Amino acid sequence: MARNVVVTGGGTGIGLEVARRFAEAGERVVIVGRRPGVLDHAAQEIGTNVTPLVCDLADPDAVEAALPALPARIDVLVNNAGSRETVLGAGPHAVLARWRGDFERNVLTAVLLTESVRDRLTPGSGRVVTVSSIAALRGAGSYGAAKASLHAWNHFLAAQLGPSGITANIVAPGTVAGTEFFGPRLDDAEVARRSARTLLGRIGESGEVAAAVYFLASAEAGFVTGEILHCNGGELLGR
């Protein structure tokens, strides 16, 4: 039977490849993001089994308003939406904006939705997969701290959902090409610099992260919970 899958940030980058992977396997996928045009384009590009849903997941009113449009039974929830706050500066107002922004963008987007739909997760087989980052373990200021918060929260979530037979895991990617995350900052020199930090000598592809998400959402991964699956070409250990 086809599963109901919700992929946040499913309109672009890693989330788009995650949505594609599930849709091509015949699952029903809802992709969530803030830009209707981007979501519509993604749904058309994938072709079948994909429904766009516009929602700012950092806004509790928007999450509440979106709930009726989400499936009554959710088999797989992929918390992938996130981005890096771009406010610069060292003054307390800039620091506050950066830290608050990164927390809202990367933690609240996952927590508000997951807590709102936790009673819809399928007992016995439900899966929650949350995308954090290598930055959670190797620094990166407020962004890394926000992603690290997801790791602590995931352990708590796995403990709460475990008695219902539902797993909760993290995928922590290293640098991934072809997404909106870095924009023009990921030029050739930056790709070379980041590639050199890995054991494979290259940065990753969105599809490779999607494969890790797909595994953790599979029936075969039913005894894996509370874990962090690193997907970074060996960058975490380094040379």
Ligand X SMILES: NC(=O)c1ccc[n+]([C@@H]2O[C@H](COP(=O)([O-])OP(=O)(O)OC[C@H]3O[C@@H](n4cnc5c(N)ncnc54)[C@H](OP(=O)(O)O)[C@@H]3O)[C@@H](O)[C@H]2O)c1
Which residue matches tokens 């993001």? 33
Residue 38 within binding range of ligand X, rule CB under 6 A: yes
Which residue matches tokens 């929830």? 77
- Which one, 82 or 126, has the nearer CB to ligand X? 82
Size of the site for ligand X (CB under 6 A): 29
Residue 214 within binding range of ligand X, rule CB under 6 A: no
User: Three-class SS of residue 126?
Assistant: coil
Give me the least distance between CB of 176 and ligand X, in Å please: 4
Among 161, 173, 217, 230, binds ligand X (CB under 6 A): 173
Active site residues: 143
Residue 195 within binding range of ligand X, rule CB under 6 A: no
Residue 77 within binding range of ligand X, rule CB under 6 A: no
Q: 73: Cβ–Cβ under 8 A, 6 or more apart, which residues?
A: 4, 120, 122
Tell me the pairing of strands 76-79 and 50-54: unpaired
Residue 83 within binding range of ligand X, rule CB under 6 A: yes
Among 3, 7, 76, 82, binds ligand X (CB under 6 A): 82
Give me the least distance between CB of 139 and ligand X, in Å please: 13
**CA quadruple 116, 119, 122, 125: dihedral, nearest 10:** 90
Give me the least distance between CB of 223 and ligand X, in Å please: 26
Q: How far apart are CA 7 and CA 195, in angstroms?
A: 28
